[in-house]
Amino acid sequence: MDDVPRGKEHFVLVHGAGHGAWCWFKLVSLIQGSGHRVTCIDLAGAAGTFVDPNDVRSFDDYDAPLVDFMAALPDGEKVILVGHSAGGLSVTHVMHMFRHRIKQAIFIAATMLPFGYLTEQDVKDGAPDLSEFGDVYDLKFGLGEDHPPTSVALRKEHQRTILYQQSPQEDSTLASILMRPWPAALSTARFGCIHDDIESTVNTVRRVYIKTANDHMVKLEQQEAMIHRWPPSEVMVMETDHSPFFSAPEHLLELILKSL
C-alpha cells in the first residue's frame, strides 16, 4: 500500500523477544482496514529473517533490520513506531538515531528505558522476572558451555500462562509454532549516553504508553515504574494479558488511533 491518502499514517510495528512480524497479523489487517499504511519489522533471529539467533552477538546486530528500515525512509517521511514488550528497546534505540523521522512512539506493555539496561534499576524495571513460574527458560550455548548463553527460549509449556492467558487458544497455538529463541544479546541493550542534550533530544519524540493490567511477563508494577521514571505524553490501559494484539486487537487499534 504505497499510495496513502493525505492525513493517513505509516505505522511501523516492532515485535518483542521470540516473536516476529507474524504476531501482528490481526492488527495489520485492522490498520489497513482503517486506511493507514503499516510495515512489520522482523528483527534479527526472528522467523522471517532466516538468521540463527545464536549468531546474533550484539544488540546492534539484533536491531539492524529496524535501523536499516529507518535509514532508508524517503526524505520528509515520518512514521509512528509501535513497540511491544522488548520491542520497546528497539524503538527507543532508533529514537536516539532518527528522531526527525518519527512522529510518535507507542509502547505496548513494553520496555521503556531512555538508555536501555544501563543500571540495576533499569534491569529491575524492564527485564521480566518470571521466577514465580519456576524454570521457564531454555538456554543455548553456541560458543560452548564455558561462555555465556547465545540464545534464550521460553519453554512451550509456559508460553500460554505467561504471554497469552486471555488470548484465543488458536492464537497461542499459532504462536507456539512460530516463536523462536531470541538472541541473548538482547539483554545487553544500551544506547545513547547520559547527558542533558542527549536526554532532551530523545524526549523530542512524543511517547504513548499502553499498559496491560493482567500482564504476567512485564508486570503492571514494572510498567508503572518505567512510566514514573520516564513519563510519556499519554498513558492508556487495557485489561488484557501481555499480548493484546491477540486478546483484544480491536480495542488496541482504538487506543492507537485515539493517541494520534
3-state secondary structure the chain: CCCCCCCCCEEEEECCCCCCHHHHHHHHHHHHHCCCEEEEECCCCCCCCCCCHHHCCCHHHHHHHHHHHHHCCCCCCCEEEEEECCHHHHHHHHHHHCHHHEEEEEEECCCCCCCECCCHHHHHHHCCCCHHHCCCEEEECCCCCCCCCCEEEECHHHHHHHHCCCCCHHHHHHHHHHCCCEEHHHHHCECCCCCHHHHHHHCCCCEEEEEECCCCCCCHHHHHHHHHHCCCCEEEEECCCCCHHHHCHHHHHHHHHHCC
Bridge-based pairing state of the strands 37-41 and 151-154: unpaired
> Which residue matches cell numbers 517521511?
77
The predicted pLDDT at position 197 comes to 56
Query: For the residues 164-186, what does the mean pLDDT come to?
Result: 97
* Higher pLDDT among residues 190 and 200, named by residue: 190
Q: Indicate whether 159 pLDDT > 90.
A: yes
From CA 87, how far away is CA 126, in angstroms rounded?
11
Catalytic residue positions, numbered? 85, 215, 242
Q: Indicate whether 2 pLDDT > 80.
A: no
The predicted pLDDT at position 6 comes to 46
C-alpha cell at 111: 520496555
Q: How many residues does the chain have?
A: 260
Query: For the residues 160-186, what does the mean pLDDT come to?
Result: 97
Q: Indicate whether 258 pLDDT > 80.
A: yes
From CA 80, how far away is CA 94, in angstroms rounded?
12
Integer CA distances (angstroms), 106 to 90, 121, 211, in order: 12, 22, 11
Confidence of residue 201 (pLDDT cuts 50, 70, 90): confident
Q: Is the dihedral of CA 119, 104, 208, 64 positive or negative?
A: negative
Query: For the residues 187-212, what does the mean pLDDT come to?
Result: 83
Q: Indicate whether 1 pLDDT > 60.
A: no
Q: CB-side exposure of 189: number of CA atoms within 13 Å?
A: 28
Q: Indicate whether 227 pLDDT > 90.
A: yes
Query: For the residues 140-145, what does the mean pLDDT come to?
Result: 96
What percent of the chain is predicted at pLDDT more than 90?
91
From CA 28, how far away is CA 112, in angstroms rounded?
23
The predicted pLDDT at position 144 comes to 95
pLDDT tens digits, 102-128: 999 999 999 999 999 999 999 999 999
pLDDT tens digits, 34-79: 999 999 999 999 988 989 999 999 999 999 999 999 999 999 999 9
Confidence of residue 5 (pLDDT cuts 50, 70, 90): very low
Q: Is the dihedral of CA 44, 133, 220, 172 positive or negative?
A: positive
> Which residue matches cell numbers 550455548?
141
The predicted pLDDT at position 4 comes to 41
Q: Which of 30-44, 194-208, 213-227 has the lowest mean pLDDT?
A: 194-208
Confidence of residue 172 (pLDDT cuts 50, 70, 90): very high
Query: For the residues 162-178, what does the mean pLDDT come to?
Result: 97
Mean pLDDT of the residues in the chain: 94
Q: Is the dihedral of CA 131, 134, 140, 144 positive or negative?
A: positive
